[in-house]
Structure formats: C-alpha cells, structure tokens
Amino acid sequence: MTAPLLEQLIDALRVLPGVGQKSAQRMAYHLLERQRDGGRRLAGALEAAMERIGNCERCRDFSETPVCPVCASSARDPQLLCVVESPADRLAIEQATDYRGLYFVLHGRLSPLDGIGPRELGLDRLGDRLADGQTRELILATNPTVEGEATAHYLAQLARQHGVRPSRPAHGLPLGGELEYVDRGTLSHAFGSRSEVA
C-alpha cells in the first residue's frame, strides 16, 4: 500500500542535508498551509534541474550545456587549472578570489574505505587534460581534511608525472575545515598565497 501524500512529501524533503523528520514535517506543513504557489514553483524548478542539469565535459562542474560557461570562456587562463572537491567549492573560489583560470571538479575525495578511488573522481580525464600540454600549474584546492590532504598528495604526483607544477592554497585555511564555509577574506588570502607542493 502506498503511503499517504503528506508522508511521501515529508519523506522526500528528508533527502536534503541536515533535514530530519521534524524539519521536513515543518517544511511540508508550511508549503501546504501558506506557500502552495511557492511549492509548485519549487516542484517545477526541481524537476527542470534534475532533467536538464548535467556535468561539463571538460571540468565536470554542473552545467546545462555540454561545456560550461567557464570552460567556454576565452577570457580564462588555460595554463592554470584548479582542482576542487565540489561545485560549491568552485563557487566559493569564484566569489572570493580574482582567480581566472580553469577548474576540474572531483565530486568527492579519495576514500578507499568508501570505495572512492581515482576512477570515481574522474582522474583519468584530469590526466588527459594535464597531458595535452596546456596546463602550467595545477592548484590543489581540496579541503584541508585527512582525505583532502591525501587527495592533494595523489594529485601532486599526477601533476609532476605530466611536468605540471602543483601548488596548494596556504595561510589561514583551518585543518579539517570545508572551503565552502571559509569566509571570503580568508579564502582570498589563502588562494593568493598558494605555495608549491613538496
């Protein structure tokens, strides 16, 4: 037997991060009591996004087109390639710094215990980009967590295999922190003070 629609709505809202049973219930009731038009807009936007947003063929960021606007821009410096763990990290760097190179989005970090290895992060595609000879510097903007540091170390080795200089944002990024939550000033300073990875 199918659950009642209200239960289905509450359960569907629980897929969002940080939303438990009570929060999902409050959201569902709010939409039904006061925001039915907003709920319809939300449903339409969710459906369109799930259907039409994919990944850029070059950088793996979210995109509605095969190649995202950043990768397609002739104003970006193709010699600089910044590797980030998530699209949210890319957006944080874009908003907080004057970086005008290109990106590669991993959608995660190396975590053998969770079954996330180089293939799951698209590192074969990253290797192809490094092999094409356009990239001079690979900026390793993975999060300063244990897995992020291990991922950065692996990426530095990959960069060196292709004759590319690996660097790492420095100064002020807290160990164990997440880039998307770092304030703009700290991120801007860290990005501007990046150093070569030893």
Task: Note the pLDDT of residue 70.
Answer: 96
DSSP the chain: -PPPHHHHHHHHHTTSTT--HHHHHHHHHHHHHH-HHHHHHHHHHHHHHHHH-EE-TTT--EESSSS-HHHH-TTSEEEEEEEESSHHHHHHHHHHS---EEEEE-SS--BGGGTB-TTTTTHHHHHHHHHTS--SEEEEE--SSHHHHHHHHHHHHHHHHTT-EEEE--SSPPTT--GGGS-HHHHHHHHHT-EE--
Closest CA to 50 of 12, 85, 94: 12
Residue 131 counted as domain residue: yes
Check residues 138 and 192 and name the one with the higher pLDDT: 138
- Asked whether residue 47 falls in the same domain as residue 72, the answer is no
Mean pLDDT in residue range 43-72: 96
- Asked whether residue 31 falls in the same domain as residue 107, the answer is no
Check residues 170 and 84 and name the one with the higher pLDDT: 84
- Asked whether residue 147 falls in the same domain as residue 181, the answer is yes
Does residue 176 have a pLDDT over 90? no
Task: Note the pLDDT of residue 86.
Answer: 96
Whether the predicted model's global pTM rises above the 0.85 cut:
no
Range of the domain at 97: 62-196
- Asked whether residue 77 falls in the same domain as residue 46, the answer is no
- Asked whether residue 147 falls in the same domain as residue 187, the answer is yes
Task: Note the pLDDT of residue 180.
Answer: 76
Task: Note the pLDDT of residue 146.
Answer: 85
- Asked whether residue 137 falls in the same domain as residue 73, the answer is yes
Residue 71 counted as domain residue: yes
Does residue 183 have a pLDDT over 80? no
Does residue 175 have a pLDDT over 80? no
Mean pLDDT in residue range 28-54: 94
Query: What is the domain count for the chain?
Result: 2
Least confidently predicted of 9-18, 38-47, 185-194: 185-194
Q: In the predicted model, what is the mean pLDDT of the chain?
A: 90
- Asked whether residue 14 falls in the same domain as residue 98, the answer is no
Residue 57 counted as domain residue: no
DSSP-assigned letter for residue 136: S
